[in-house]
Structure 1
């Protein structure tokens, strides 16, 4: 449409954050693959980043990830096949299951942590320490509803 400036669509903060997240996650996945841990996709990581170390019910994983129970269930089954997680009966409710990291899953998590840290360092190097710290502080505050968490 003539007379309408379309630049905002490419430069609005939401789109820039989305593109930055995509670049960040691709870098993490690349590092994981190079380290021999390329079995998980971003969808699988949605589960693992919401999984507590002492286990989490699938219904809670679905809530945290804003996904359906069926979708989380499918991803958990795939992660079980990969040996990353397992399901055990919930000791507080025999009808429910808790999803837990396996020993292989905890090893995978250690490598994932290292890949995230390395990618964060690359980002800090690219932006400079002052800007990196300011962005991280601002994102923490915004993500937590304005609370100052620094």
Structure 2
């Protein structure tokens, strides 16, 4: 039998529920479920080698291009880890590295034509997964969730 949904009231510390029924854990589980569905949809469209880590690159990459250091910052990871993921995305044909015209020592990561094609499929997969969430939870609840999370992530309104 599934666990009852958590209430907004604090869970007593003497129980183990606080470990499973807290906002952080539930948000992580929701993200895992949502993004797994996005990856499934991408695989259905022929993007079989793309992993969630690669989506972290493409999600943070500006269409006009972005320096690897900025990508690492946006993804909250080291430059070395981001460099490895960028290399994998290059191998997948999604991005390319180019010299930065403003600084010959630096590189800019840009989408390839195939990467832009992927980006459109990624957009469609996100829309579809969000639609599935709406079918499951109701559109009003999903809209309220989006607004609530936006307000929490952007408390200053930006």
Shared fold per TM-score greater than 0.5: yes
Residue 31 of structure 1 is matched in structure 2 by 41
Where does structure 2 lack aligned partners over 5 or more consecutive residues? 1-12
C-alpha displacement at 1:130, in angstroms? 1.3
Consecutive unaligned residues in structure 1, runs of 5 or more: none
Once the two structures are superposed, what CA deviation does each residue of 1:16-59 show, in whole Å capped at 9, x if it has no partner? 10000000000000111111112211111111101000000000
Shift >4 Å, 4+ stretches = none
TM-score by length of 1: 0.93
What does residue 58 of structure 1 align with?
A: 68
Corresponding residue for 1:127? Answer: 137
Alignment root-mean-square deviation, CA: 1.2
Give the match for residue 153 of structure 2. Answer: 143
- Which of 114, 126, 148 does residue 124 from structure 2 map onto? 114
Is 1:70 the counterpart of 2:80? The answer is yes
The number of residue pairs the alignment matches comes to 146
Deviations along 1:60-88, one digit per CA (max 9) or x if unpaired, are 00111111111111111111111100011
Deviation at 1:99, TM superposition (A): 0.2
